[in-house]
Amino acid sequence: MTQPLHALAAAAGVDVRYVGWRGEPVEASQEALLAILAALGHPVSSPDDAPAALAAAGRAWWDEGAPPVIVSWGGAGADLPLRVRADVDGDWEVEVAHEDGSAGAWRGRLFELDASGHADRDGAVWCQRHVALPAAPAHGYHRVRWRCGGAAGQALWIAAPERAFGAPPLEGVGPRTWGAFAPLYALRSARSGGAGDLAELSRLARHLAARGGRWVATLPMLAAFLDEPCEPSPYAPASRLAWNELYLDLARVVAGGAAEYDAPALAAERARLLAEPQVDYRGQYRWRRALIDRAAETAWQGPARAALEAFARDPARAVGDYAAFRAIGEVTRAPWSRWPEALRAAPAFDVDALLAGDVAGQGPAAAASWRAHVWSQWAMDGQLGALKAAADAGEAAALYLDLPVGVNRDAWEVWRQRELFLLDASAGAPPDALFLGGQDWGLPPLHPGRIRAAGWDYVIRCVRHHVRHAGMLRVDHVMGLHRLYCVPAGLRPTDGVYVRYAADELYAILCVESHRAGCAIVGEDLGTVPDYVPPAMRRHGLAGLFVAQFAMAWRAGDALGRAAPTQVACVNTHDTPTFAGWWRGTDLDDQRALGLIDDAAHAQGRVARAEARRATCAAAGVSAAAVAEPDGDAACAEALLGVVRGLAAGDAAVALVTLEDAWLEPAPQNVPGTSLERPNWRRPFALDADAALADPRTEALLAAAARAGG
């Protein structure tokens, strides 16, 4: 029964095989296919069920009548295929409601339409009849209603520009601009305490702009669970539609002003947290939340109340619903999967009741928490908007934000719209040279069929949430626009399978939203990239990434790798060793400690790295005195500046430096494939923000990057 099972997988958008990291085909196991098909909603528990499930899937496809989404590009008209019996004529009607309020209607006879895709179904021939819709008046999202053969339905029409805003070489954004990357939690100071905040990010953005820098890049700043449960990873957020209130510039908004913010007890707590070797998220959130609660209560009782009510009611943001979710979680001190059944079922909330203080009957504490979360989102939106305005005025570097591939399994949107997620699977990565056991990220993937049937509304809102305040947006794991490696529940990461998505429709959303916001799009295309992804990125104007660490001079006589004009170039990323870590081979030591390589591979890696250091010294123009001690800091520092100058003087649209490379930080921010084994997302900069920006080594690094501006 393998053939029907494979046919069902193909019909469901599941790859039965893929090309592994060694270049060999890897075939999905029968167990994995059955598990992922069941997660997708197909009634299969054994291969014997596949023929009936395949027939049912075929009937459902024809009975759908028309696809739920259609796309047109560059001002062209759209094709609406109607699925009908080939031998039956009849009337058809199509109405289009355009986003600008205009409308159009067309009608005719089925036999007058072109036909394609003929197939036998239940003894009759069916086909697709094609309605040619004229060009929409503007790019955007248009609603299509159709009727024919006694059936009726709706579709979303995405009329998209062919290429994203600032398509490489980033016209209107570049060319050859530069910026710096810093995780916001790491950019802490005596003013911010145990983690950085928007005050420090704004200060860095203005510092860069004063030196000609165009971009300030950071990790996702999305909502996180920082109490119960506590999950600080920026790539497992509590929502992709809400900001992390931990990063509010509270000194600007506390009710009591400087007197309250600088009170001796709070100053002492900030000093204690600043001295901690790792970010204490619970401790940092605790003192900040106390200020947030007081500031929120003051705001709700003052002239800001009308604006807060309007913000809470806005259906496009659904902040009132999000705040209720967070309030219930804080009162119950449990993830939603452990709430009482009535709350687990995600009841609808009446905003008037929430405004009156009734949060699902959870009492005054929940009401206060609800007000605090609404106010926090309102304040974060305002502060990010102010930073965007400063960037638009040339006073600050623009934000280069990061859209993670998914959300925490306990996230708000999973609770509210769990039908859109594959709760019986996790996103991850297949085995590769570094992680032979594969990776399970624990993030529930989106259901490819149901999210599409819902008109991609959630995805549109996620993209819009970010581009509203960003000048560039990095789409994490851009290959996920095409397919995502999914590990069925109970199986090992090596047993995952690829699930496909409607990539054209996702690219269309990115193109529409990027133009509306004036935000360039960058695709994180590192790792194993299928050969069809780079052409799609080029076609739709997504910049790729160039990481110099992967293109060093590895042998004597080698030149440093050179980025293309269609790339954003950086020395390293948050998932790689720092430059000094690479230089000293601390990543090799860590791989051995984690059991990812054995002693022999570690020794071989050390020899190869020493040769790469010597070759990079020659290629980067390191002085003879420094080369004499290639293991010392002088050679490392000179090589770093040489590599950065090469990036900045090259063809890349944007050159980015990692701020902590300036003082030769050896430890990474994240070790992929680990969780509790390493203090990921918890390491602050070795220098506080004041010292970092005043350090001559930082100035030297930024000056090297500034060559991008000529």
**pLDDT tens-digit map of 605-629:** 999 999 999 999 999 999 888 887 7
Q: Which of 461, 460, 476, 470 is nearest to 519 (CA)?
A: 470
pTM value is 0.96
**Helical H segments across 426-539, by residue range:** 448-453, 457-467, 503-517, 533-539
Cα–Cα dist 277/269, whole Å: 15
Q: Does this chain's domain 75-160 share its CATH topology with 177-400?
A: no
Residue 585: left (phi > 0), alpha (psi -120 to 50), or beta?
left
Residues 664 and 689: their CA atoms lie apart, in Å, by 16
Whether the Cβ atoms of residue 141 and residue 516 lie closer than 8 Å to each other: no
Between 633-649 and 696-705, two packed helices, what is the crossing angle to 10 degrees?
30
Do 598 and 592 contact (CB within 8 A), yes or no? yes
pLDDT at position 628? 77
**Using CA atoms, how far apart are residues 60 and 386, in angstroms rounded to an integer?**
49
Per-residue pLDDT at 710: 52
Task: Kindly tell me if the per-residue pLDDT of 708 is higher than 80.
Answer: no
Tokens at residue 122, please? 């239940």
User: 3-state class of 414 per DSSP?
Assistant: helix
In angstroms, the CA 43 to CA 37 distance is 8
Averaged pLDDT, 677-683: 91
Q: Give me the DSSP letters along 255-275.
A: TTHHHHHT-HHHHHHHHHHHT
Mean pLDDT to the nearest integer, 17-35: 93
The whole-number pLDDT of residue 658 equals: 98
Name the burial class of residue 64, with classes exposed (0-12), middle (13-18) and buried (19+) by CB atoms within 10 angstroms of its CB: middle
> In a 3-state reduction of DSSP, which class is residue 236?
coil
If pLDDT is split at 50, 70 and 90, which confidence band does 174 have? Answer: low
Q: Which two tokens stand for residue 634?
A: 């002088």
In the chain, what percentage of residues exceed pLDDT 90? 87
Q: How confident is the model at residue 67 (pLDDT cuts 50, 70, 90)?
A: very high
CA 573 from centroid of its chain's CA atoms: 15
pLDDT higher for 109 or 650? 109
DSSP state of 386: H
Inform me whether the pLDDT recorded for 532 exceeds 60.
Answer: yes
Query: What are the angstrom distances between the C-alpha of 233 and each of 42, 174, 223, 224?
Result: 33, 31, 10, 8
439: nearest Cα among 701, 630, 675: 675
With left for phi above 0 and alpha for psi between -120 and 50, is residue 531 left, alpha or beta?
A: alpha
Is residue 704 a contact partner of residue 671, using CB atoms and an 8 Å limit? no
Interatomic CA distance for residues 270 and 249, integer angstroms: 14
CATH of domain 75-160: 2.60.40
Give pLDDT tens digits for 454-507: 999 999 999 999 999 999 999 999 999 999 999 999 999 999 999 999 999 999
Q: How far apart are CA 482 and CA 509, in angstroms?
A: 14
Residue 171, pLDDT score: 60
Spatial separation of the C-alpha atoms in residues 84 and 121, rounded to whole Å = 11
Q: Which two tokens stand for residue 558?
A: 């080698």
DSSP per-residue letters across 600-650: HHHHHHHHHHHHHHHHHHHHHT--HHHHTSTTSHHHHHHHHHHHHHHHHHS
Residue 169 reports pLDDT greater than 70: no
CB atoms closer than 10 angstroms to residue 153: 15
Question: How would residue 168 be classed by pLDDT, with cut points 50, 70 and 90?
Answer: confident
What is the per-residue pLDDT across 106-160, written as a single tens digit (0 to 9) for each? 999 999 999 999 999 988 999 999 999 999 999 999 999 999 988 999 999 999 9
Confidence grade of residue 173 (pLDDT, cut at 50, 70, 90): low
- Residues with Cβ within 8 Å of 324's Cβ and at least 6 positions away in sequence, in order, are 349, 354, 359, 360, 370
Q: Are 468 and 242 in contact (CB under 8 A)?
A: no
pLDDT recorded at residue 176: 81
**For residues 373 and 245, is the Cβ–Cβ distance under 8 A?**
yes
Query: Does residue 218 sit in helix, strand or coil?
Result: coil
Q: Please, what is the end-to-end C-alpha distance for the chain in angstroms?
A: 64
Report how far residue 472's alpha carbon sits from residue 569's, in angstroms, rounded to the nearest whole number.
14
CA distances from 525 to 197, 480, 512, 538, 544 (A): 29, 10, 21, 12, 6
- Do residues 659 and 200 touch, judged by C-beta distance below 8 A? no
- Segment 32-61 shows an average pLDDT of 96
Nearest to 178 by CA among 669, 666, 690, 650: 650
Please state the domain extents for the chain.
2-59+417-539, 75-160, 177-400, 544-652+662-709
Residue 489 is encoded by which pair of tokens?
């529940």
Q: Give yes or no for a contact between 198 and 383, defined as CB atoms under 8 angstroms apart.
A: yes
Q: Assign a CATH topology to domain 177-400.
A: TIM Barrel (3.20.20)
Q: What is the pLDDT of residues 263-300, one digit of tens each?
A: 999 999 999 999 999 999 999 999 999 999 999 999 99
pLDDT of residue 677: 84
Tens digits of residue pLDDT in 193-246: 999 999 999 999 999 999 999 999 999 999 999 987 789 999 999 999 999 999
pLDDT above 60: residue 1? no
